[in-house]
Amino acid sequence: MGLLEKAGNTQTEDKKTTTVVKPAKKAAKVNEAAAKSVKVDEPTPKESKKAAKAKKAKKPKKTKTPKVRKERVIKEFPEGFDEVNKARAWFRTLVDLAVNFSLFSFYLLTNIVAGGASDLTYVLILSLILPIFNLVFMPYKTGRTVGQWITTTRYVNSRGKNPPFLYHLLKSSPVISYLSGAGAFLVLISASTEWTNGMIGVVVTLLFIFLLVPGDWLFKKFHHQSFGIWEFLFGGVWNARAQKGEGGTGNRLFQRLESLSDYTESKGWLEDKE
């Protein structure tokens, strides 16, 4: 009897396990079928583009750092130099004008008086060589013009160095400006002038060169350091005293020019009159 009861109990337990296991298996199969039946919705190309744009829009914009303006450095007269007085500056201007344009003026006046009949070709060639020598060769070689050698002066920038020879060339432009203005005036009043495009261009150019003189004067009037156009373009240039032998030594020409500077100083031509 005892064995029969045990056998009956084992059968009932097996039935229970079968009943419990079957629902679990069925649930697993149902879940697998449901997972297979559910389709994952993939985003369309338009939706993906919109999502990318939305992500880009969400990104914080980079803040632009404000640009710091550089303060203007005021150009000052260099240390170790003395400024030139008015008498010395005016005498230097007269000497350079005589060297640069005296022969050329003589050539023009002679041709006007003779009506172009005189042959002064050699005078014309020499009148062109002299300004090239004084405004190009001398500043390039020594940093000073003939007038500056005779008056013991020189041009100096804020670093205490000589400006390029182009500055010397442009500083002598007033005479060229006056000649250009005179040429433009003669063309304008001439009855035989044919107003072609080329002629109009020539007259406009001559008038522009002539207007550099009043333009330089106005610029100097309104500039806070009284710089003219050329001083401003070359970063500040001043007229300063020079030392004896500065710019060239051992040359007879320079020695002769320095002897002339001693002569002008002895005559008192380079000192301001009270």
Tens of pLDDT, residue by residue over 19-50, are: 444 444 555 554 555 555 544 455 565 556 66
Tens of pLDDT, residue by residue over 87-100, are: 999 999 999 999 98
d(C-alpha 37, C-alpha 270), whole Å: 112
H or E stretch covering 138: helix 138-142
Confidence of residue 124 (pLDDT cuts 50, 70, 90): confident
Residue type, 106: F
In the numeric block, the tokens 């804020």 are attached to 158
| DSSP letter (8 states) at residue 83 | B
